[in-house]
Chains A and B, each alone.
Chain A
């Protein structure tokens, strides 16, 4: 479950970067709310694996197993919303399977990711079918983040329910969902390859994109400056 914990931690951090920058007050609340849910998921999953702060603050870039999608910088609001849509639609379907397979933490996460997906979906509709500018920005976000979505369907090895996930069904369900949303949003589903240059390695193997190292440097700096301290 380490890859899933890392996904939630890293995306939560990225959303936390929006605090004080959101386009409307309501989104300050929504983005912080989603970030908090994700952080809660990460903490619950880390608790099963070891000491949460050790896992979050003392591993280096190559030891993180999150997907590259989660670590992508927020960009403009359209990038943040499309990133969220791609991720939450996937997380909702994955956690639904995990819940059925008996993963105890998944049931709560399904409800949360459903809310996150719904929120991102509504914004994708507003941006895609809003003004000419918002449409262009949403399409650009959809296109530029597309190459990070293939990784979501690389099977995650592991003992327990995650080893039994039907990844093909996940891909089919996800593709249907995104296609339907994009249609309603008057957006085009990208035709470029879903796999980036990092298909062989990618985040699940600890191969990350460049912005991730800087993200970790900021996130871990204070904790690492005071070895052994409690907070």
Chain B
């Protein structure tokens, strides 16, 4: 921790030359940066921002799905959904822990989330209006997340990379479950098929927006790529995702809501229509369909839970005091015994 704290205060000017050289050569050699290693302040800040945003997304992302836990249409689906929401809370915990290795704390990060100073993924500001949305989130949203996150398993910061390895395994499982849910609907009754199609129609474009702004407008991209936090550009990953989804949609018997979608022989990729970046901007600025509701709910859970956390802290403190009392008692007894002997 000492080196982390030292790193925090140096603000660029007092960077020790050997440390900079060691950092640069580690990045060049594809080695991992670990918590005790020296790192540039901006590298640290970028990582904290990205990991916190990632953790927040897991936590806020529980809400649109939890919305359907009590209404899941079969016990098997209910169990799968509960397990998934539980996994998400777990991912949030890994990521907060990983962020803490950079000298911040979970409390501080949650505070920033609650006060709107840190963001979460724009996708979770869309509502889950039907059961099929649970499937679309699994297939498209988790699918996009995996496409984004698999390269992070090779991210230059060790704790983040290791968290992503675990998270990606579970995410791919969720993604397959989402696909399978939609497949069951698509092959079910007419009403179920229509429900699945409507849901894909609503989630397709927001999922493409998950990769962030186009490359020429992405402010953090270039440096993140230099630092090997990021391995591919937003547009590259978005293209990869579209290429994966088109045949999957076909296998599902569902269509994607884009008349501009066609195979481009010369590029070897699917061309797709323009994204509504104005909508993206609005959602990011807090004007999406559920922004207000999501953050209010999160704050509410935190505020409602304050007395529980206080109780746990008070109990722990009393208990620790009693524990110390006992140790002292035992010591005194031992001393007494020794003296009287």
Contact = CB atoms under 8 A, between A and B. Distances in A.
A158 interface: no
Contacts, number: 142
A127 interface: yes
Contact of B62 (A19, A39, A228): A19
Interface stretch (A106-114, A130-138, A168-176, A199-207): A130-138
Nearest to A224: B73
B192 A131 contact: no
Interface stretch (A89-97, A145-153, A215-223): A215-223
Contacts of B76: 43, 231
A36 B307 contact: no
A56 B75 CA distance: 8
A20 B301 contact: yes
Contacts of A28: 62, 85-86, 89
Interface stretch (B21-29, B152-160, B273-281, B311-319): B311-319
B312 A222 contact: no
B47 interface: no
Given A25-B93, A36-B82, A126-B312, A53 B301 contact: no
A9 B308 CA distance: 27
Interface string A8-19: 010001001101
A62 to B, nearest CB: 21
Interface residues of A, number: 49
Nearest to B310: A131
A129 B315 contact: yes
B304 A21 contact: yes
B78 interface: yes
Among B188, B189, B305, B308, the one with the most A-chain Cβ atoms within 10 Å of its Cβ is B308
B96, B301, B311: residue with the most chain A Cβ atoms closer than 10 Å = B311
Contact of A222 (B59, B71, B92, B184): B71
A157 to B, nearest CB: 26
B38 interface: no
B184 A231 contact: yes
A133 B315 CA distance: 12
Contacts of A9: 75
A29 B92 CA distance: 11
Interface in B50-104: 59, 62-63, 66, 69-79, 82-83, 85-86, 89-90, 92-93, 96
24 contacts: A9-B75, A19-B69, A20-B63, A21-B300, A21-B301, A23-B302, A24-B305, A28-B85, A32-B82, A32-B85, A39-B78, A39-B82, A43-B75, A46-B75, A53-B74, A126-B316, A127-B308, A130-B312, A130-B313, A218-B70, A219-B71, A226-B73, A229-B191, A231-B74
Per CB-CB distance, the 7 closest pairs between chain A and chain B, nearest first, are A23-B305, A130-B311, A134-B311, A19-B66, A32-B86, A23-B308, A28-B89
Interface of A: 9, 13, 16-17, 19-29, 32-33, 35-36, 39-40, 42-43, 46, 52-53, 56-57, 76-77, 125-127, 129-131, 133-134, 137, 218-219, 221-223, 226, 228-231
Interface of B: 59, 62-63, 66, 69-79, 82-83, 85-86, 89-90, 92-93, 96, 131, 181, 184-185, 188-189, 191-192, 297, 300-302, 304-316, 318
